[in-house]
Amino acid sequence: MVNDQLFNNGTLMQTSPVSGSLDIPFFDTGGYGGVLINPNGQDLGNTTVQISGSLNCLDFGETVQRCFDISPTNLPASGTTLTFFFDSSDLGFLNCETLNVYHDINGVWELMILDTTYDDDGRLCGNDPQSVRITGVTEYSRFVILEQEPTAITVENFTARPVSEFIIPLIALFGLTGLAIVFIIKNSPN
């Protein structure tokens, strides 16, 4: 913390018990915001929240520069509510008013449901920390915040060929073309 402000240029990790019907804060200090988990009357047990800061959360595409990984001991039987906080400096070229939350479920990115009772559209933009709230969460792992759906890419097949297969015919073609040009120039009347 610097001047009572929390900055994260690495990974923060906190474990706390999560149960009841109130918002349980993680890293709610120094204006950082972190995450709020509302278990909606359920007992998630000890829950670990990791927030990696100052980095793009995917290998492609632009995300909010905070990556969230949440691991409860007990999965909820029905949906829980999560509020993710970030600073305007974490947005880069993204617009807070168009952000969505995606959840990684076995390599497939699932669009989460924004809580439209939270500032009418699930997003609270303007003053820092800004935030996005989602509902209906029944599975936990990685969450990313961005404008468009991330694309999962898998390499199904990859074939490499030796360079010589292409180079030798290419050299022969250039050589024959060069000989033909020289022959035409020498045999043409001036």
Q: Residue 36's domain is classified under what CATH number?
A: 2.60.220
Fill in the DSSP letter of residue 2: B
Q: Cα-Cα-Cα-Cα dihedral of 168, 169, 173, 179, to 10°?
A: 50
Query: CB under 8 Å to 61, separation ≥6 — which residues?
Result: 146, 148, 150, 151
For residue 36, the surrounding DSSP H or E stretch is: strand 35-38
Task: Domain count for the chain, please give it.
Answer: 1
Flag whether 157 is in a domain: no
Flag whether 158 is in a domain: no
Flag whether 6 is in a domain: no
What average pLDDT is seen over the chain? 87
For residue 28, the surrounding DSSP H or E stretch is: none
Q: What per-residue confidence (pLDDT) applies to 1?
A: 47
Task: Mean pLDDT check: name the lowest of 18-22, 35-39, 82-86, 146-150.
Answer: 146-150
Written as six digits, the tokens of 52 are 């990696």
Flag whether 56 is in a domain: yes
17 has pLDDT over 90: yes
3 has pLDDT over 60: no
Residue 115 region, left (φ>0) first, then alpha (ψ -120 to 50), else beta? beta
Segment 167-181 mean pLDDT:
77
Regarding beta strands 24-26 and 35-38, do their DSSP bridges make them parallel or antiparallel, or are they unpaired? antiparallel
Higher pLDDT residue, 134 or 29? 134
Q: What per-residue confidence (pLDDT) applies to 4?
A: 62
Which pLDDT band holds residue 160 (cuts at 50, 70, 90)?
Answer: low
41 has pLDDT over 60: yes
Flag whether 37 is in a domain: yes
Q: Which domain holds residue 139?
A: 11-146
